[in-house]
A and B are shown apart, each in its own frame.
Chain A
Amino acid sequence: ETGVTQTPRHLVMGMTNKKSLKCEQHLGHNAMYWYKQSAKKPLELMFVYNFKEQTENNSVPSRFSPECPNSSHLFLHLHTLQPEDSALYLCASSQSGNPNYGYTFGSGTRLTVV
């Protein structure tokens, strides 16, 4: 347990489905992030939230919709995905202004789009 919990661990969804990924951090951090890791590719930064406000959207398609209701929770809402969206989706958190211990990542959600 890293202090960042992601659910579900695995998800299979059809291209017409709507699903949500959930991330919860118990570390008192004030910044949260979504990353995507496709097979044999580096981690790609998707979204950044600081103090619940989205501060970065790395040209992510609108079929991915983030939500940060409070500094402890982060969601990624998915709809009409494509097979190429299959990947490991990782959530991370950090403390702005005190990054001495870097980012803490969750274990990820392995998403398969069929």
Chain B
Amino acid sequence: LAKTTQPISMDSYEGQEVNITCSHNNIATNDYITWYQQFPSQGPRFIIQGYKTKVTNEVASLFIPADRKSSTLSLPRVSLSDTAVYYCLVGARNTPLVFGKGTRLSVIA
């Protein structure tokens, strides 16, 4: 399984765009990149998944460069309710998810 590296924590003010970058230098051809969000004492929630280029949904955008060795989760105009831990996961479909430590995002008023 490809190992991921992401910042331990980030702070942002409300209304700003937040970009969380994840490094996955040994990503394999069959691997997809998936991001999850977790609030305290709750299970993680799927945010977005991509393979290459850019993916956008109603919650976030995911930018993946051509070499796929990193990815960036972009959260537009964050609010206090976006304070959570964000996990970047890399793996082939149909393989169990293995979580790292994630990035703790704190949104400040």
Task: List A contacts of B93 (CB < 8 A).
Answer: 97, 99
Query: Which segment of A40-48, A60-68, A77-85 sits at the interface?
Result: A40-48
Interface string of A94-108 (1 = CB under 8 A from B): 001101111111111
B96 touches A43 (CB 8 A): no
Find the B residue at minimum CB distance from A4: B43
Tell me how many residues of B have a C-beta within 8 Å of chain A. 18
B43 touches A102 (CB 8 A): no
**B-side interface mostly:** loop
Task: List A contacts of B42 (CB < 8 A).
Answer: 105, 107-108
B46 touches A45 (CB 8 A): no
Name A residues whose Cβ lies closer than 8 Å to a Cβ of B. Answer: 2, 4, 33, 35, 42-43, 45, 48, 56, 88, 90-92, 96-97, 99-108, 110
Q: A96-B94, A99-B49 are in contact. List 19 more A-B contacts (CB 8 A).
A: A35-B99, A42-B99, A42-B100, A43-B99, A45-B98, A56-B96, A90-B43, A90-B44, A91-B43, A99-B93, A99-B94, A102-B34, A103-B36, A105-B42, A105-B44, A107-B41, A107-B43, A108-B41, A110-B41
Name B residues whose Cβ lies closer than 8 Å to a Cβ of A. Answer: 34, 36, 41-46, 49, 93-94, 96-102
